[in-house]
Amino acid sequence: MNNRSKFWIIFIFVLSFFSLSCEQSNKTFSEEETRIIDSLYRVKVKESKARMDSICDSVYNAEFPVMVDSIKKVRKKEILDLIE
């Protein structure tokens, strides 16, 4: 099978996949189901936010001093080059 045939097979597959995935669902939820979904969503968002904040803080605390040191090193070299 040559590359052109492979391309067209993949293209047709992707095109059909996207056309099938665009169908809209007509599913409606009752008021109780909507309330449950909403409260579960809020709990998960709160948990995720706390976890993401923790990860962000740990990365910041690990990387920021290194970045500041490297910027200081570059600026110091620039100053020394200007002086010489």
pLDDT for the residue numbered 24: 64
pTM over 0.95: no
pLDDT for the residue numbered 12: 84
**Residues spanned by the domain of 48:** 31-84
pLDDT for the residue numbered 1: 59
**57 located within any domain:** yes
Going by pLDDT thresholds of 50, 70 and 90, the confidence category of residue 7 is confident
**13 located within any domain:** no
Token representation of residue 27: 């599913």
**51 located within any domain:** yes
**4 located within any domain:** no
